[in-house]
């Protein structure tokens, strides 16, 4: 299947920031009559950014580039001052006319999210791109303030936080708040058309799905022992990919997009998962041992209620062959879902099982101006806000996060994990995050050797660590 591994069609939010700047000029709806479902009398929707790393800064750029009416950024919050200041400098330079963040509206600390959201009025928008563990905390405060929300994925990391998020989604509905979740595959026009074609039976009944994200270490996948110049709590928040409580680890953060869009193509959520995983040579290039909680490889077999199988393979090891795409095999043909990356174009349908050019039946062609799924998700959210259309992706995002955690837990425990077991599991990795301060102890403590608890399949069967 090497012909599928073409990364040219891949997308990244950071890669679209510069494109978003060019689109910003299209941001005003001159002369349009808009419903008063947001705060500003001049129809400008104000935005606060909570979590200002690369992902959050990219989301803010997309928000300021929407073609569904004027927007401006009025507050930035982060636990780390250098990140908040970095987003401040970058976004001020890129969007000078829409940038209204003053130094006294740049907030730092674990309570910074409250201060940033307090700068907004009901009907404005909060962006949440801090580590996923904090999603339910920030979402609850946004609902209290009457704010629309865009939250990055994953939105939960375990069963208890999933149940909290689903309940909060219902509260948002009751207040008619609009909620977007950063599973941008759902807003890829290519994947939207492919999903409809699969639903119409163009590849027959799906009998097997496969997803791959195998590449070298990225982000904060691996971590060495904490240096002395930072607290344990701040170290774990800073390197959130390394810690299950903060992010669900690399499995949840890296693989959720493919897991979500494969379930979408199937039209159902998996009911159980059977996973494998392992740690290998776990040293930094200088020989310092890595002490994080991630496995280096994962292979999880998800099963749907009709016994269809979806296999998700992940690996973060340098020097190995890379694969990063997804496909669905049906009784009539093969669908290439993502040609590269999380939702890279073009999507394709072939007759039979082989992706040969002679078998090509359909290839996606995206309308002009709609090729960027990151921008599409913002345009779709803003349109729903301005037109007061029902729009709440929070529960679906929580379920996608839960299904991802289901596979991760299976690999980490060595047990088959069902959807119901994952949803109703009582192990909350980090309870009480709504009361966290800079002086709080970290939710996870290292042993005397500086290493953090790691999953032990077969030894720890009911918890991941």
Q: Are residues 270 and 210 in the same domain?
A: yes
Whether 453 is in a domain gets the answer no
In 3D space, the residue among 254, 179, 190 whose CA is nearest the CA of residue 218 turns out to be 254
Whether 447 is in a domain gets the answer no
Under the phi-then-psi rule, with left for phi > 0, alpha for psi from -120 to 50, and beta for the rest, what region is 151? beta
Q: How is residue 189 written in tokens?
A: 């026009």
Q: Are residues 55 and 197 in the same domain?
A: no
pLDDT value at residue 41 = 57
Whether 464 is in a domain gets the answer no
Domains: count for the chain: 2
Task: Give the orientation angle of helix 249-266 with respect to helix 394-413, to 10 degrees.
Answer: 120
Task: Give the orientation angle of helix 159-174 with respect to helix 394-413, to 10 degrees.
Answer: 180
Whether 457 is in a domain gets the answer no
Q: What are phi and psi of 458, to 5 degrees?
A: 85, -30
Edge-to-edge strands, sheet with 71-78 = 106-108, 71-78, 45-50, 125-128, 148-151, 179-181
Q: Are residues 28 and 143 in the same domain?
A: yes
pTM (2 decimals)? 0.91
Q: Are residues 279 and 218 in the same domain?
A: yes
Q: How far is it, in rounded angstroms, from Cα 317 to Cα 253?
A: 17
Whether 238 is in a domain gets the answer yes
Q: How is residue 192 written in tokens?
A: 């939207």
Q: Are residues 40 and 132 in the same domain?
A: yes
Q: How is residue 363 written in tokens?
A: 């290839």
Whether 354 is in a domain gets the answer yes
Q: Are residues 294 and 326 in the same domain?
A: yes
Whether 442 is in a domain gets the answer no
Q: Are residues 206 and 277 in the same domain?
A: yes
Q: Are residues 426 and 383 in the same domain?
A: no
Q: Are residues 294 and 388 in the same domain?
A: no
pLDDT value at residue 38 = 44
Whether 301 is in a domain gets the answer yes
Please say whether the beta carbons of 329 and 152 come within 8 A: no
In 3D space, the residue among 131, 133, 128, 130 whose CA is nearest the CA of residue 172 turns out to be 128
Q: Are residues 75 and 135 in the same domain?
A: yes
Q: Are residues 36 and 91 in the same domain?
A: yes
Burial of 8 (0-12, 13-18, 19+ CB in 10 A): exposed
Q: How is residue 20 written in tokens?
A: 């978003």
Q: What is the CATH number of the domain that holds 169?
A: 3.40.50.720
Identify the domain boundary among 332, 361, 392.
392
Identify the domain boundary among 392, 424, 458.
392
Q: What is the CATH number of the domain that holds 411?
A: 3.30.360.10
pLDDT value at residue 450 = 86
**Residue where the block lists tokens 């040219």:** 8
Taking the CA atoms of 92, 95, 96 and 102 in sequence, report the sign of the dihedral they define.
Answer: negative
Please say whether the beta carbons of 340 and 324 come within 8 A: yes
Which portions of the chain are predicted below pLDDT 50? 1-40
For residue 135, the enclosing domain spans 2-185+373-392
pLDDT value at residue 42 = 77
Q: Are residues 133 and 152 in the same domain?
A: yes
């Amino acid at each position: 299947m090497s012909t599928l591994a073409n990364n040219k069609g891949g997308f990244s939010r950071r890669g679209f920031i510069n494109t978003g700047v060019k689109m910003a000029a299209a941001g005003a709806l001159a002369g349009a009559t808009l419903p008063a479902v947001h705060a500003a009398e001049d129809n400008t929707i104000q935005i606060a950014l909570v979590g200002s790393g690369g992902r959050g800064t990219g989301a803010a750029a997309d928000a300021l580039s929407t073609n569904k009416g004027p927007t401006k950024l009025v507050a930035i919050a982060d636990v780390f001052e250098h990140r908040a200041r970095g987003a401040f400098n970058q976004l001020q330079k890129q969007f000078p006319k829409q940038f209204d963040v003053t130094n006294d509206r740049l907030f730092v600390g674990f309570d910074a999210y409250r201060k940033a959201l307090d700068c907004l009025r009901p009907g404005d928008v909060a962006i949440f791109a801090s580590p996923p563990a904090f999603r339910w905390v920030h979402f609850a405060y946004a609902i209290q303030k009457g704010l629309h929300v865009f939250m990055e994925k994953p939105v939960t990391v375990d069963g208890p936080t999933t149940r909290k998020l689903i309940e909060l989604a219902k509260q948002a509905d009751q207040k008619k708040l609009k909620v977007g979740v950063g599973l941008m595959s759902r807003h890829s026009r290519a994947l939207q058309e492919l999903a409809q074609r699969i639903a119409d039976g163009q590849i027959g009944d799906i009998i097997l799905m496969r997803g791959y994200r195998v590449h070298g270490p990225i982000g904060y996948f691996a971590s060495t022992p904490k240096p002395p110049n930072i607290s344990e709590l701040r170290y774990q928040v800073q390197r959130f990919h390394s810690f299950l409580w903060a992010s669900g680890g690399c499995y949840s953060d890296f693989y959720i997009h493919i897991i979500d869009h494969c379930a979408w193509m199937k039209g159902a959520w998996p009911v159980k998962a059977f996973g494998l995983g392992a740690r290998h040579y776990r040293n930094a290039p200088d020989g310092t041992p890595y002490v994080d909680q991630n496995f280096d490889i994962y292979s999880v077999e998800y099963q749907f209620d009709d016994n269809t199988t979806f296999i998700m393979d992940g690996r973060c090891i340098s020097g190995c062959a890379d694969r990063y795409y997804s496909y669905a095999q049906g009784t009539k043909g093969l669908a290439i879902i993502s040609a590269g990356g999380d939702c890279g174009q073009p999507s394709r349908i072939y007759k039979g099982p082989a992706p040969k050019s002679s078998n090509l039946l359909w290839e996606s062609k995206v309308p002009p101006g709609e090729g960027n799924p990151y921008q599409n998700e913002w345009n779709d959210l803003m349109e729903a806000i301005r037109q007061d259309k029902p729009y709440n992706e929070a529960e679906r995002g929580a379920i996608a996060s839960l299904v991802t955690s289901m596979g991760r837990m299976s690999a980490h425990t060595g047990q088959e994990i069902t959807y119901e077991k994952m949803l109703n599991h009582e192990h909350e990795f980090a309870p009480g995050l709504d009361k966290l301060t800079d002086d709080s102890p970290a939710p996870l403590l290292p042993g005397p050797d500086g290493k953090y608890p790691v999953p032990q399949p077969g030894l720890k069967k009911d918890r991941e660590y």
